Chains A and B, each alone.
Chain A
Amino acid sequence: MNSTTPGATTSYTVSFRYMTPVTTGSVDMLFCINPIPYEPCVTPPGLDVSNAVLSDQSGETGYTADIRSANHIVLTRTPSVISSGDMSSYKFDNIVNPTDTATSFSIRLSSYASTNATGPLIDFGSVKGQVTNGITIETQVPPMLIFCVAEQVSEDCSNTNDNYYTDMGQLDANSTLTAQSQMAVGTNATGGFAIMANGAPPAAGTNVIDAPSVPTLSEKGSNQFGINLVANTSPAVGNDPEGAFANAIPSPDYSVPDQYKFVSGDVVAYSPNVSLVRKFTVSYILNSSQDLRPGVYSTTITYIASGRF
């Protein structure tokens, strides 16, 4: 478009490639708001191609313009085989721009063997354009993902308590050890985010405390390590997610109160689209059996925050 001013009379250069190298006699150009060929065609308000003149052509040439209506042009020529897949361009003068700057418009393109754009369709596609009121300089906020982890974090990640481990105390077959940590996450990317928890259950050398692979109640006297991201009552540990925006949620398996699970690589929290920063509290439980081998049991859990594709 030589000018994008709404309502201006200007020239359009439409460029495309012919995909099928067969005999082609006409190209249909229909100007609509919607590019989908099977949807009804709504003429962009203000657009008028009824006085359009084909002033230049390159690539596949030999066409003349047949003006059918205010939004419809058919290029027609003596049918001949498409000689190459290079770009073809057609310049039309005296086209009146649409007047609606809020909506883009499309040119639905289709090619035919006939000279009057009837009969079997060969190729189809569409191109889009939009009119604007002058040039506006504006900054765009790039997509960003905000994430922080610590024993305690503020909701905007500006402060943490600088504590990156949690000591759960002395293992005892008659009691459940608990601990919690926090993480805050948010993104303005339309695809949202996912947080994965990676690591191994607590181990002392080759002795490992097992972690259930499905949400399981805490059971004293059995070797068990698990986490969840909600408030629990038995034992009393953790908090529900905090923050006004509810787009970001714990994964279903980690959102059941009083049930715990840990599988390395699992997604523990996610948002399917834009989410303001939300704070999650991770609850940890550790149970041990009487015959658990002595040792110092420890692990490091890495929380990985990623955008979604």
Chain B
Amino acid sequence: MKRFTSIVSAAFAVVIAAAYTIAIPVQPVSAQSSAALSIAPKKNYVIEPGKSVKDKLTIRNLDNSSPLQLTLRVVDFTFTDDGGTPKLFLAEDAPQTTWSLKPFMTVPKSVTIPKNGSKTLDMSVAIPAGHGAGSYYSAIIYSTGAPDGGNVGLAASGVTLVFTNIPGKVNEDLKLEKFGAYREATANNPASYLFLTTDEPQKIAYTLKNSGNVTEAPAGSITLNGWFGSPITINNVNPNGSLALIGQSRTYTACIKLKDAEVDFNGQKTKSTACDSPGLFPGYYSAKLDLFYGQNGNRTQEIIGSAGFWYLPWWFIILVIVVLAILAFVIWRVYGWVRVKLYGPQYKKRSSRRR
């Protein structure tokens, strides 16, 4: 009986211990698909009502050792913030947006790409006859499978943003919300417009609110005039053709001085740009913005804006203080000398006695 009780107790202890295990040892995982891919990040079409476009999606598997198994689906998206990052509606039951391209787009549901290989998939966008003009957009998301095992599994997805403009009379409405010198976000500070800065600004930005029913990519120029130096003109303030989505307040930034570089991307030459120091003199700067936007077949519209900012580096502030201090001292000394000249040296003696 005692032996039976011991066995049962031991077995019970094992069961309890197993129940209180809160992590299990690593399990060997079954053969896993690659998670290394190359895709087209964006597609743009102009399609008239009643017409369609057939295109190709080329996907490359970059992994040298495993095939790439992908599922494809179309999801809607909108903007995340005032930048160009999409906010994807990934839920299966997400409501369709009013600008959704989902009903008109056809893509395959899955694909397997051999290691270090590529595949070209057919896709199409067909706009029904009589459909209204405007901008429509959705995203194709390519997903690898979820892994087995471990506390934290890793999965990769790529996204192609698909934009379609249906030409015709549209409602275009862009309004300038903000304009001026700009500082990008850092770990400690959010992005912000600047009126007074001690660091040399390298960017000018403008924020446009899109209340129309089309995406917009404005074009234009900015002119900077300071106390010193010649005017600076930024000729192309939207070089990438960045879009303001429907309903978005989009902030566009432009480098005051651009630095071009040619880089080798995946064996091909590609042009890259970055901001360079514009060499601004201290002082007050006024900025003038002149923008144009408009879809084909609609009136071109213009936006004009103006702003100003102070650039006062610390060395300049210190220099001004020192100069003012020297000036004050000189004035005081001159004042004393003039008093002596007017009222005689006794003024100097009287002044000393009063002290």
Chain A residues at the B interface, C-beta cutoff of 8 Å: 17, 19, 34, 36, 38-39, 123-125, 141-151, 153, 156-160, 162-171, 179, 181, 183, 186-194, 196, 198, 202, 204, 245, 247, 252-253, 255-256, 265, 267, 270, 272-277, 284, 286, 288, 292, 294-309
Contacts and interface: CB of A to CB of B under 8 A. Distances in A.
A193 B86 CA distance: 10
Interface in B258-287: 263-266, 268, 270-274
B152 A165 contact: yes
Interface residues of B, number: 85
A301 B23 contact: no
A38 B157 CA distance: 47
B86 A306 contact: yes
B84 A309 contact: yes
10 residue pairs, one from A and one from B, having the closest CB atoms:
A307-B41, A165-B150, A148-B36, A308-B84, A306-B159, A300-B153, A164-B147, A149-B156, A274-B272, A157-B62
Given A164-B154, A284-B152, A299-B152, 9 more contacts: A142-B58, A144-B41, A163-B29, A164-B147, A167-B26, A198-B90, A265-B87, A272-B84, A304-B157
Given A144-B40, A168-B23, A305-B156, A162 B270 contact: no
A147 B37 contact: yes
A45 B80 CA distance: 46
A294 B147 contact: no
B350 to A, nearest CB: 66
A50 to B, nearest CB: 28
Nearest to B184: A272
B290 interface: yes
A292 B80 contact: no
B267 to A, nearest CB: 9
A284 B154 CA distance: 12
A163 B235 CA distance: 49
B103 interface: no
Interface class of chain B by DSSP: loop
Contacts, number: 262
B1 interface: no
Contacts of B190: 252
Nearest to A259: B187
B62 to A, nearest CB: 4
A169 B187 CA distance: 31
Nearest to A265: B87
B161 interface: yes
Contacts of B22: 170-171, 204, 288, 292, 294-297
A168 B24 CA distance: 10
Interface in B230-256: 235, 239-243, 245, 253
A142 B160 CA distance: 13
B42 interface: yes
A247 B274 contact: yes
A145 to B, nearest CB: 4
A307 B90 contact: no
B273 A165 contact: no
Contacts of B65: 159, 162
B272 A125 contact: no
A160 B34 contact: yes
23 contacts: A36-B221, A39-B221, A141-B265, A142-B58, A148-B37, A148-B63, A159-B63, A160-B35, A164-B147, A166-B151, A168-B150, A181-B152, A181-B154, A191-B240, A294-B22, A297-B22, A297-B151, A300-B146, A301-B154, A304-B158, A309-B163, A309-B242, A309-B243
